[in-house]
Chains A and B, each alone.
Chain A
Amino acid sequence: MSQAEATAAGTTATAASDASPVRKRIWTLGLFRSELVTTFRRWRTIALLAVLAGVPILVGIAVKIETSGGSPAAGGGGGGPAFIAQITNNGLFLVFTSLAATLPFFLPMAVGVIAGDAIAGEANAGTLRYLLVAPAGRTRLLLTKYATTMTFCLVATLVVAVTALATGALLFPLGDLVTISGTRIGFGEGLVRALLIALVVAASLVGIAALGLFVSTLTNSGIAAMATTVGLLITVQILDQIPQLHAIQPYLFSHHWLSFADLMREPVYWDDLLKNLGLQGLYAAVFGSAAWARFTAKDITA
C-alpha cells in the first residue's frame, strides 16, 4: 500500500469517529419520523381519517334537520348516543356525542387496521427484512411501531373532536353548558373538558393498539392481522353486551370506554375513568410484552 493511501485512510477514520457520538443521540427520532410519514401518507390511513371526520358532520346535519321543524328532539329522549339531545342548545355537545358515537366501533376499528398492519404489512411487502438488516433493531422497530399507532389513536380522536367542534359551531349556537350534574360551566371550561375527554378517548384505544400489534407479529399477512384485530374488537363488544358474562366483563378492554362522560360531571367522578385507564395500561403491558417476546424471537422468512 502506498503512503498516499495510508494518509487518506487515516483522515477518513478520524473524520468518521468525530461524527459518531452525535449519531447515537439522534437515531430514535429518525425512524419514528420516517414511520409517521409512511403511515400517514398511505391512502388507507387518509380514508380512515376521512370516514372518522364524516361521522360528526353526519350527526350534526341529522340533528339539525330533525329539529328544524321547531319541535325539540325530546321525543326520542332515551335513544341515540350520549348528549345528543343537548346539541341543539350548544354545538360543543356535538364533540361529546361524536366521540360517544365513534368510540364503540369506528375509532377502535381504525386503530385495529393501523396496528394490525404495523408489522405484518411490512412482512407482507418484504420491507421488514430490509428494515431489520439496516439494522433497525427488533425492539426499536416494535417501539417505533407502537409509538406510531398511539400517535394515530391521538390524531384519529382529534380529527373527530375538531370536525365535531367545527360542525357544531357552524350549525348550532355556542355558549355556557350544563353538566350532567346540573351545574353550569363557562364555554372556556367546556372546551377544556372537551380536550380532556378527547385525550381520555385516545388513551382508551391504547389497549386495542397493543392487542393489534401483538396479532401483527403473529402473521405475515397484513390483511389477516387487520381482520383478526377487528374481529376481536367485535367479539369483545358482543361479549360485553351479554348479561350472563358479567363476571368477565370488567376485564374486557371496551368495558369502561364510555366512562369518559364522567368528565362532564361536577365534580368529576373519577372511579370508572381510572379503572378504564388502568385496564388500558394492563392491556398495553400484557400484549406489548407478548408482542416483544414474539417479535424478537421470530424467524423472518418473508
Chain B
Amino acid sequence: MEAPVPVPPLPHSTRTDGYDGSEMAASTAEESVIETRALTKRYGGDQLAVDGLDLTVPAASVFGFLGPNGSGKTTTIRMLMGLIEPTSGAASVLGRPMPRATRTVLPHVGALIEGPALYGLLSGRDNLIRYDSADPAADPRTRRTRVATALDRVGLTAAAGKKAKAYSLGMKQRLGLAAALLQPRRLLVLDEPTNGLDPQGMREIRSLVRELASDGTTVFLSSHLLDEIEQVCTHAAVMARGRLITQGPVAELAAGARGRLVVTTPDPGDAARVLKERGIADLTVTDDQVTGEPPGPGTDLAELNAALVTAGVRVRGFGLERASLEDAFVALTGEGFDVAG
C-alpha cells in the first residue's frame, strides 16, 4: 500500500470569507476539523443509533467514514451538521461546538447528506440559486457566477436549464455535489457521493474529490464501498452497530492486516512443496495458485522465486499481495462487511 501523500494545508485565510475568519483560522490550524467526544444518539428510548463515538478528523485529510448500511454513519453526519441533537456527548466542527454554532460553521461546510434532494419543478440552475439564497453568508451579487462555476465543475452546464424532475439519479447526484461546491469550503461532507453514478461518473467524482483535497479542503467521505475509500482516502474510520471500531491513516489500518505471498503457477503441488521447505507458513493451494504468509525479513523474495524456478516450477506470477482495507476490516471485526442486523 502506498503511503498517503500528506497535503500541505493552505493558510486558512484563503478558505474563510471574512465571516469570522481570523478566529477560526487560529483554532483549526493545529486542531482537527471534526472532533467528537462520547457522541451518542438514542432513538425512541432504547435504540442506540450512535454509541459513544470519539472521532477525530485531521485538517486537510480525505477521511473515509466506513460502515455497513445501518451502522450509524448518517446519524453521525446529521449530528455533525446540527440537524439532530445528540442524546449525550459533544461534537465540534471547525473548532466550534455543534449544533450551537451552525450559523458560523455551516457556511464553510458543503454537504451531501443521504442523497440529493431537489425541487422538481425548478431547473437545475434555479435549484442551486435557491440553496445559495438560503445561505446568509452567500453574496447575492456573485450568485449567478458561482452557480455557473459549480454547474461547470460537476459537468451539468448543458442540462442546467432542464427541470430537476427530468434528471437521472446520476445527474441529481451531480447537482447535489454542485450545491456543496457553491462556495469555497473548508470542509466537504459527502455521504455516499457515488451512489447512482455510472463507472465514468464515479471516476469523475473521485478525481473531483482529489482535486478539492489538493486545494486544502478537508473531505469527509462516507461510503459502504471499501475500494472507493481505499482509492481516495488518506484516513479512515470504521463503524459497526453504532460504535467506532477503529480510525487512523489508511496505510496503518491496512498494515494491521498482513498481506499474502501469491504464486501463480500451473504446478501448484511442486510450488507448495518448495515453499514449505523454505519455511513459508499457512499455505493454501488452489488450481493454479499457492498463497501463504509472507516470509520473514531474513528471506529475500527474489531468492524464493529463484528456488521455485530451480526446482522446475513454472512461475506465471510471483509477488506480495498487499492487505486491503477489507482484510483489515475482517481482521478487526472477525466478520464480513454485511448489513448490521
Contacts and interface: CB of A to CB of B under 8 A. Distances in A.
A117 to B, nearest CB: 13
B320 to A, nearest CB: 37
A293 interface: no
A182 B21 CA distance: 70
B13 A9 contact: yes
B14 interface: yes
Size category of the B interface is 35 or more
A24 B18 contact: no
A34 B134 CA distance: 8
A238 interface: no
Nearest to B102: A135
Nearest to A20: B18
A135 B135 contact: yes
Contacts of A23: 136-139
B21 A133 contact: no
A38 B135 contact: no
A41 B114 CA distance: 27
Given A9-B10, A130-B117, A300 B78 contact: yes
Contacts of B122: 38, 41
Interface string A175-193: 0000000000000000000
B139 A19 contact: yes
B105 to A, nearest CB: 8
A126 interface: yes
B11 A41 contact: no
B164 to A, nearest CB: 10
B18 A133 contact: no
Say whether chain B's binding surface is mostly helix, strand, loop, or mixed: loop
B133 interface: yes
B84 A133 contact: no
Interface in A39-64: 41-43
B130 A38 contact: yes
A12 B13 contact: yes
Interface residues of A, number: 45
Contacts, number: 129
A234 interface: no
Contact of A13 (B21, B111, B134): B21
A64 to B, nearest CB: 38
B33 interface: no
B83 A20 contact: no
Interface stretch (A25-33, A79-87, A268-276): A25-33
B283 to A, nearest CB: 51
A286 B129 CA distance: 34
Contact of B115 (A13, A17, A126): A126
A13 B13 contact: yes
Contacts of A126: 114-115, 117
Interface string B65-87: 00000000000001001111100
A242 interface: no
A14 to B, nearest CB: 9
A130 B131 contact: yes
B151 to A, nearest CB: 16
Contact of A300 (B83, B134, B136, B139): B83
B139 A132 contact: no
Contacts of A301: 78, 83-84
A155 interface: no
Contacts of B102: 132, 135, 137
Interface string B83-122: 1110000000000000000110011010101110111111
A127 B117 contact: yes
A134 B121 contact: no
Nearest to B182: A134
A41 B135 contact: no
A141 B137 CA distance: 15
Nearest to A144: B134
A31 B133 contact: yes
